[in-house]
Amino acid sequence: MTILGIETSCDETAAAVVRGVGSETHGNASVQVQVLSNIVSSQIDIHKKYGGVVPEVAAREHVLKILPVINEALKKAGINRRGTINRAPTIDAIAIANGPGLITSLMVGVETAKTLAYAWNIPIIPINHIEGHIYANFIRQQTTDDRRQEIKFPAVVLTVSGGHTLLALMKGHGDIKTIGQTRDDAAGEAFDKGSKMLGLGYPGGPAISKQAESYELQVMNYEIKLPRPMINSANFDFSFSGLKTALLYSLKKDKNWKKKIPEYAREYQQAIIDVLISKTIKAAKKYNVSTIMLAGGVVANLKLRCQFEKIIKNKLPNINFVLPDLQYTTDNAAMMAAAGFFKAKRDEFTPWQDLRVDCNLEL
Ligand code: KG4
Ligand code: ZN
């Protein structure tokens, strides 16, 4: 089965073509998807000057980019698009992210997907954006480590992006339940806001991690201390707004903060990482899972990836640790198409007439 994925939830216009590979055996999921093309047109340079995403600007840019991006994805995948009404190209279904996200951005992708589904007479599969991030883990990786190729359930999945911080228990395909989430800011949002305070610009994650790295190379003893909110709370929820406020007050009190930006960046990043790791490990133990998976833009953070790997190896050596290739951490359409592939196997299609945008869609 070959799936065209489309993603326009925020500030990336993306299209991708994937197909299924592997075989399914009882109790595990060795079926994965192979990416034939993955095109992402990022608007980061446009939004940078405003210090964050401007929804109206994002929607206009999606309108300009969506068809060229889809065309490129089809061409790169070797799909012969005939373009005649009722003559589908060799695409079996369209997977489209229909929420959560910015309503004006989501609408561009959804209306395009509906039009193509009608013109090509093929079914449509709505995808929850967070579920899409999770399915980045089911994209076949260029790795020699076979453990990564086979994901055993149950799994605990941490999704950390600009809009979401969520721990989920995944017992199988189509069986994903939220066990905790942020009560205020998302982890990516915390990176973005912290970065703004430190004068490092947008997006904050890469900017903060670059500064943090430059500091860690020189110093062994860290003086600046920030809180790890809710790290010991008896649940799997998160809160990052207090950390942001703590940074703000620390900077206000410190007349020399501009000379210590790398040190602040290191401590701020470490505070976020400590909370994410602690809660995920706790959840993995409580639910006695076989696999821990990570997903979302914040998983592009190399320190986070490294520290997770080390702790799981030491504390939970029998748990399989899976994380997506870097290119599938931030928003892309390959992960939407991957989620679509598994839904298509379960016949979870929606007639294009019934497809709606839901900017507050829950997992
Ligand atoms: O998943 P994503 O592309 O979009 C949403 O669904 O929100 O995530 C974007 C977020 C931004 O907040 C960005 O600062 C963060 O991911 N991010 C990072 C890194 N790269 C991107 N955060 C920490 N470290 C990074 N290297
Ligand atoms: Zn996302």
188 alpha carbon – ligand 1 mean position (Å): 5
Whether the link from the prior residue into 203 is cis, omega within 30° of 0, is: yes
Task: List CB contacts of 31: < 8 A, sequence separation 6 or more.
Answer: 20, 21, 22, 23, 24, 138, 342
pLDDT confidence bin for 260, thresholds 50/70/90: very high
The pLDDT of residue 279: 98
250 and 343, same domain (yes or no): no
Residue 256 lies in a domain: yes
Percent of the chain having pLDDT more than 90? 82
Q: Which ligand is nearest to the CA of 161?
A: 1
Amino acid at 285: K
Q: State whether residue 237 is helix, strand or coil.
A: coil
CATH number for the domain harbouring residue 62 = 3.30.420.40
The pLDDT tens digits of the residues spanning 276-330 come to 999 999 999 999 999 999 999 999 999 999 999 999 999 999 999 999 999 999 9
For all residues of the chain together, what is the average pLDDT?
A: 92
Substitution site in 40, 130, 330, 363 for ligand 1 pocket (most atoms within 8 Å of beta carbon): 330
- Residue pLDDT, tens place only, 20-41: 886 654 444 567 899 999 999 9
Is residue 335 located within the same domain as residue 233? no
- Ligand closest to the CA atom of residue 299: 1
**Are residue 172 and residue 92 in the same domain, yes or no?**
no
Are 309 and 335 within one domain? no
Please indicate, yes or no, whether residues 30 and 168 belong to a single structural domain of this protein: no
DSSP, collapsed to helix, strand or coil, labels residue 5 as: strand
297 CA → ligand 2 middle, Å: 7
Q: Evaluate whether residue 150 is within a structural domain.
A: no
Of 191, 269, 323, which is best to mutate to test ligand 1, by the most ligand atoms within 8 angstroms of its C-beta? 191
Residues 233 and 114 in one domain: no
> From atom 26 of ligand 1, which residue's Cα is the shortest distance away?
301
Q: Which residue spans within 119-265 are E strands per DSSP?
A: 124-128, 151-152, 155-160, 165-172, 175-181
Residue 113 near residue 94 (C-beta atoms within 8 A): yes
Q: Whose CA is nearest to atom 14 of ligand 1?
A: 205
Report how far Cα 355 is from the mean position of its chain's Cα atoms: 23
Mutation pick for ligand 1 pocket among 165, 298, 359 (CB with most ligand atoms within 8 Å)? 298
Instruction: List the one residue out of 249, 203, 241 whose CA is nearest residue 224.
Output: 249
Q: Is 23 within the bounds of a domain?
A: yes
> Do 89 and 171 belong together in one domain?
no
Same domain, 115 and 189: no
Determine the atom of ligand 1 nearest the C-alpha atom of 129: 6
If one counts the domains in the chain, the total is 2
Residues 203 and 117 in one domain: no
For 305, the token pair is: 């990836």
Arithmetic mean of pLDDT, 129-134:
98
Whole-number Å distance, alpha carbon 294 to ligand 1 midpoint, is: 13
Rounded Cα distance between 97 and 134, Å, is 13
Q: What are phi and psi of 99, to 5 degrees?
A: 150, 165
- Tell me whether residue 362 is in a domain: no
- Could you tell me how far CA 360 lies from the centroid of its own chain? 16
- Domain hosting 67: range is 2-142+327-354
- Token look-up 């610009």 returns 201
Q: How far is CA 360 from CA 6, 22, 163, 183, 295, in A?
A: 19, 34, 11, 15, 19
Whether 257 maps to a domain, the answer reads yes
Q: Return the ligand number nearest the Cα of 295.
A: 1
Specify the ligand 1 atom closest to the Cα of 9: 6
Q: For the whole model, what pTM was predicted?
A: 0.93
Give the Å distance between the CA of 143 and the centre of ligand 2. 24
Q: Which atom of ligand 1 is nearest to the CA of 163?
A: 7
Task: Give the closest residue (by CA) to ligand 1 atom 10.
Answer: 162
- Name the residue at shortest CA distance from atom 3 of ligand 1: 330
Residues 292 and 273 in one domain: yes
User: What is the pLDDT, as a whole number, of residue 251?
Assistant: 97
Higher pLDDT among residues 141 and 251, named by residue: 251
Strands 32-42 and 28-29, by their bridges, are: unpaired
Do 339 and 251 sit in the same domain of this protein? no
**Distance, CA of 292 to CA of 307 (rounded, Å):** 14
Q: How does pLDDT run across 2-26, given as a tens digit for each residue?
A: 999 999 999 999 999 999 886 654 4
* DSSP reduced 3-state for 83: coil
Q: Is residue 88 part of a domain?
A: yes
CA of 89 to the centre of ligand 1 (A): 34
Q: Could you tell me if 228 and 101 lie in one domain?
A: no
**The pair of three-digit structure tokens given for residue 140, joined into one six-digit string:** 């076949």
**Residue 361 is assigned to a structural domain of this protein:** no
Q: Please, are residues 115 and 314 in contact by the beta-carbon 8 Å criterion?
A: no
The DSSP element (H or E) to which 135 belongs, if any, is: helix 129-135
For ligand 1, atom 23, which residue shows the shortest CA distance? 205
The ligand 1 site (C-beta within 6 Å) comprises 10, 161-163, 188, 191-192, 203-206, 209, 296-298, 300-301, 330-331
Containing H/E element for 207? Answer: helix 204-216
Which residue, by CA, sits nearest to atom 19 of ligand 1? 205
Q: For position 89, what pLDDT does the model report?
A: 60
Q: Which atom of ligand 1 sits closest to the CA of residue 195?
A: 14
